[in-house]
Amino acid sequence: MFTFHMAQSLTFSTVVTILLVLTDYGFCMNFKSINASLAGGFASAVATWYGDPNGSGSGGACGFENDVANPTYNSLISAGNQNLFKYGKGCGACYEVKCTQNAQCSGSPIKVTITDECPGACNNDAVHFDLSGKAFGYLAKPGQADALRKLGRITIEYQRVQCSYNARLTFKIDKGSNPYYLAFAIEYLSGDGEIGSVEISSSNSNGWKAAQQSFGATWKVDLPSGIRVLILSGLQLSNPKQLLLHKM
């Protein structure tokens, strides 16, 4: 996980559908290693599926909404029990999963992203992936997707892997934001995928102000009275000078 400091001047009214190019503005980031090992070998888990057989699943509990159906998720997503969802801190984490124990299984791994929570009975299992219908079908041999889905619940193997999003790091500004309150979801974080903490600053404030996790990958911060110019800066790991902001 890493600490992400945002720093680039813009008025609040412009924080909608804009591409920000950073030039001489400063920004600060501190990376921290994640707790889970990456690509450390496959372990056993339970998998189920939800929604339509070829559906995209959902991103509700992480704040990703309908983005899960689009590139770069491409519907290859999963809800997770608390050992995966981690009260929202697991949002955006990537895993390889494969199915080997059923005749319908291909044995080939696919990469999925945690975008939602699987509550309740999912926590009766140590690790439980509740995959989109599309992702579950991708575990099958050609022509066997429906037969595999009919099983409903299967044993799979999984391992944590690096995320490699073919997209800019994205801040989705929540529609409830105003000049004195800011909330935003953070998506497409390549690397370990998890966000440890977020701080913001402004051109007329002293130091950094810590944001609080609202839910999932959505963070919020109350802005001091009178601050109408936000400092927002971002990171795209392949090009640290671009940030895409758009309104939910």
DSSP-assigned letter for residue 88:
G
Model confidence over 98-120: pLDDT tens digits?
A: 999 999 999 999 999 999 999 99
Confidence tier at 13 by pLDDT (50, 70, 90) = very low
Judged against a pLDDT cut of 80, whether residue 187 lies above it is answered with: yes
If one compares 206 and 30, the residue with the highest pLDDT of the two is: 206
Contacts for 56 with CB less than 8 Å, ≥ 6 apart: 66, 68, 69, 73, 75, 77, 132, 134
If one compares 26 and 219, the residue with the highest pLDDT of the two is: 219
Confidence tier at 151 by pLDDT (50, 70, 90) = very high
Model confidence over 29-58: pLDDT tens digits?
A: 232 323 444 656 999 999 999 999 999 999
What pLDDT sits at residue 197? 84
Confidence tier at 16 by pLDDT (50, 70, 90) = very low
If one compares 237 and 162, the residue with the highest pLDDT of the two is: 162
- Please give the class, per CATH, of domain 43-161: mainly beta
Phi-psi region of 234 (alpha: psi -120 to 50; beta: other; left: phi over 0): beta
Cis peptide before 218 (omega within 30 of 0): no
What pLDDT sits at residue 231? 38
DSSP-assigned letter for residue 178:
B
What pLDDT sits at residue 225? 62
Q: What number is the average pLDDT over the span 175-186?
A: 84
What pLDDT sits at residue 23? 23
Judged against a pLDDT cut of 80, whether residue 64 lies above it is answered with: yes
Extents of the domains making up the chain: 2-32+166-247, 43-161
What pLDDT sits at residue 202? 63
Average pLDDT, the chain: 78
Number of Cβ within 10 Å of residue 209's Cβ equals 17
Distance CA(69)–CA(153), nearest Å, equals 23
If one compares 235 and 201, the residue with the highest pLDDT of the two is: 201
Distance CA(244)–CA(229), nearest Å, equals 18
Which CATH code for domain 2-32+166-247?
2.60.40
Confidence tier at 243 by pLDDT (50, 70, 90) = very low
If one compares 246 and 127, the residue with the highest pLDDT of the two is: 127
Beta bridge partners of 14: none
What pLDDT sits at residue 240? 33
